[in-house]
Amino acid sequence: MNLELFVQRAELLHKHLADLYQTATVLPWIPSELLPEAFKELYTTSRMVQLAAEELYQQNEELLQNRNLLETQRQHYQNLFEFAPAAYLVTNEKGIIKEANRAASQLLNVAQNFLVGKPIINFIPREQHQHFYSTLNQIGKSEQVREILLQLKPRHDDYFDAYLTVQSVSQPHGKETNLHWLLRKISEHQRIESTAIQNHTDLIENSPIHKYSKGENIPLNPLLIWCVRQGLVKLSTFYETGAERLTGLATKGMVFGSTMTSLPIYQATALADVELVSIYTSEIAVVPSLNEILLPKINQRLQQTQSFLFIAGKGKVQDRLHHLLELLKQQIGEPFPGGTRLTFRLTHEDMASACATTRVTITRLLGQFQEQGLISFDDKKHIICKHS
């Protein structure tokens, strides 16, 4: 039975019981004291069922709206990843390709759908396999960015020298760790300018810092993209009703901006004191290596949006909250005795927005999680997620 039909039947049941109750109370030959107490309780219970069904229906409508918004965001970031000019791969820890954009397909001369499932080692000369596997083992033990200089061989083409920039990225919800690869072909001209990417990274790191205090709205200019150096930024949108919906959290190293979303109403708010660096979109057009810096950051946002979609797909509110806490552990967590401490505090209203429910429900569920020993709080009310 679908939810709408359930609500209709609950309302019909309540109406029938109300009619029967009204009739029984006005019949002159039935003394009111003889009216069965059970009938009164049944009437009251049916009213409670009706109200609960209406509330459930409303929450389901909001959840569907939330999923639609997140799907719009996910598709937008997917397009940014797909059509980026830099070649980009996502593999598992063993180097098996899970995702590839169009530039990677063109660089390796293999259709995207045929790249998925292939080992990246297939495109590396045999004499460099040992070096590659040795580096692969080291990468899995650290989240530091590593660069590998070796040769790649596209399908039906000659070898070329390449830089492979790779980083290990832990996945939420207990999934395996992914490796993110940026592939760059080195021409003679690029050899001379091989330090350009590092210089442009320094350019971002050494750019003027814009500071915003906790609670401040961050202006969104279509001419620039913000990069977070420190702090946490809440990204949200609003329904026609005025209800706010959380669509993302920009943590250190992530980027955001009005040009990176297709939502009509988009707002960025500092959840803690933040430091931002601005990157003008005009710079990206004239400095190609900036694309290579920004692409991994855009992919981070894509994966985060997919995680929010995963949360929105859960039917039970407690499951949504559980997976939200798992995501927050990955995004803003730090090791703590016995668990993981969330370094920033989200309000119950923010968590309710992400879970498409009410603040009261989040407060109640957090209390239950605490009683069950799943979470605790430090002296500053930061959530500590216990080891399972």
Nearest Cα neighbor of 328 from 268, 267, 383, 255 is: 383
Higher per-residue confidence, 52 vs 33? 52
Residue 269 has pLDDT above 60, yes or no: yes
pLDDT on residue 368: 94
Residue 200 has pLDDT above 50, yes or no: no
Residue bearing tokens 């090791």: 335
Of the chain, the percentage scoring pLDDT greater than 70 comes to: 76
In tens, the pLDDT along 210-233 reads 899 999 999 888 878 899 989 999
Mean pLDDT over residues 135-145, rounded?
71
Higher per-residue confidence, 80 vs 13? 80
Domain ranges of the chain: 3-79, 83-192, 203-312, 317-386
pLDDT on residue 366: 95
In tens, the pLDDT along 91-117 reads 998 899 999 999 999 999 999 999 999
Mean pLDDT over residues 125-129, rounded?
84
pLDDT on residue 151: 85
Higher per-residue confidence, 346 vs 135? 346
Residue 142 has pLDDT above 70, yes or no: no
The domain at 317-386 falls in which architecture?
A: Orthogonal Bundle (1.10)
pLDDT on residue 159: 86
Burial class of residue 222 (count of CB atoms within 10 Å of its CB; 0-12, 13-18, 19+):
exposed
The domain at 83-192 falls in which architecture?
A: 2-Layer Sandwich (3.30)
Residue 155 has pLDDT above 50, yes or no: yes
| pTM of the entire predicted model | 0.61
Whole-number Å distance between alpha carbons of 178 and 180: 7
Residue 81 has pLDDT above 70, yes or no: yes
Residue 264 has pLDDT above 60, yes or no: yes
pLDDT band with cut points at 50, 70 and 90 for residue 326:
very high
pLDDT on residue 116: 93
Residue 199 has pLDDT above 70, yes or no: no
Whole-number Å distance between alpha carbons of 4 and 54: 9
Over the chain, what is the mean pLDDT?
80
pLDDT on residue 114: 93
- CATH number attached to the domain at 203-312: 2.60.120.10
Residue 369 has pLDDT above 90, yes or no: yes
Task: Mark out the alpha helices in the chain (DSSP H runs).
Answer: 3-26, 37-82, 102-108, 112-115, 129-139, 188-192, 196-205, 281-286, 289-312, 317-332, 348-355, 359-371
Higher per-residue confidence, 14 vs 201? 14
